[in-house]
Amino acid sequence: MTFIKKFISNLWLEAYYINEKNILRLLNGNPSAKLIDLGCDDGKLSIKFARKINTSNIYGVDIIEESLRLAKKKKIITIKADLNNKLPLSNNFFDIVIANQVIEHISNLDNFISEIFRILKKNGYAIISTENASSWCNIFASIMGWQIFSLTNITRKKSGLGNPIALHRNSKNTRQLTSWTHKTVLNYYGLIEFLKIYDFKVNRVLTSGYFPFPGFMAKLDKIHSHFITIKISK
């Protein structure tokens, strides 16, 4: 069992880093752009994204004060807010909105997407990246009657819930934060259709992770990849 978990962990990490590269691939250079990273954490990735865009106008939203403190040290304009609620931000203000591994933590999806649309400028774009409920590993878990891998952290009381080979099963480092738990993981077509009903145009979809199969297959079969990264425009 330990070998299987280590094998899956290595594949997951590889896919996660490819997902990060996919986000960078979708970013266009624009020195005057205003960028906001929703769920910015400590701002490390926000800075990477800003460097690719070549902008110094960087904003970050998070609900954890310690994360915002660290992000502020990196000269990011920080906003403390709950992404389930209306954001204290102006209409049509940002050129680029990024939400990497965030939407699955949100309980009020309608508010989250409508707020992205509201704060985004006309012709601006957003990049949404999340896990895919249709990935092969999640399908396998469902067939076994296990909790899908992407929804094993639905409670603060136990990590790896309902899945004996979940990566963080019985971990002692379980975060005691409601914001860390997953609320909703969408399937490939469900995510695309959901974004379209809020009048977003889907520009491009990139994927990564195809475990337990070779990662390159995620490019051939996006529907069963583990990470989905979508570029949408207003």
pLDDT tens track for 141-163: 999 999 999 999 998 888 899 99
* 157 in any annotated domain: no
Flag whether 160 is in a domain. Answer: no
Q: Is residue 153 in some structural domain?
A: no
Rounded CA gap, 177 and 42, in Å? 16
Percent over 70 (pLDDT), the chain = 96
C-alpha to C-alpha distance for 158 and 151, rounded to whole angstroms: 12
- For residue 156, being part of any structural domain is answered with no
Q: Is residue 72 in some structural domain?
A: yes
Structural domain harbouring 69: 2-131+184-233
* Average predicted confidence (pLDDT) for the chain: 94
Q: Taking residues 79-100, what's their average pLDDT?
A: 98
The pLDDT assigned to 149 comes to: 95
Give whole-number Cα distances, 147 to 13, 78, 176, in Å: 20, 35, 20
Please check the confidence at residue 175 and state whether its pLDDT lies above 90.
no
Instruction: Give tens-digit pLDDT for 29-86.
Output: 999 999 999 999 999 999 999 999 999 999 999 999 999 999 999 999 999 999 999 9
Q: Give me the residue label for tokens 């990024």.
A: 98
- The one-letter amino acid code at 161 reads L
User: What residues contact 122, with CB distance under 8 A and at least 6 apart?
Assistant: 92, 234
- Overall number of domains in the chain: 1
What pLDDT band is residue 91 in, cutting at 50, 70 and 90? very high
Confidence at residue 177, expressed as pLDDT on a 0 to 100 scale: 66
Confidence (pLDDT) at 86: 98
Please tell me the predicted confidence (pLDDT) of residue 212.
87
User: Is 147 domain-assigned?
Assistant: no
Residue 210 CA to residue 216 CA, distance in Å, equals 8
Residue 148 domain flag: no
- Predicted model pTM: 0.93
- Residues 135, 143: Cα–Cα separation, whole Å: 12
pLDDT at 6 over 90: no
Residue 163 maps to a domain: no
What gap in Å lies between CA 233 and CA 163, rounded to an integer?
37
Residue 84: CB atoms within 10 A of its CB come to 16
What pLDDT does 178 receive? 73
Q: What is the CATH number of the domain that holds 59?
A: 3.40.50.150
- Greater confidence (155 vs 203) lies with 203
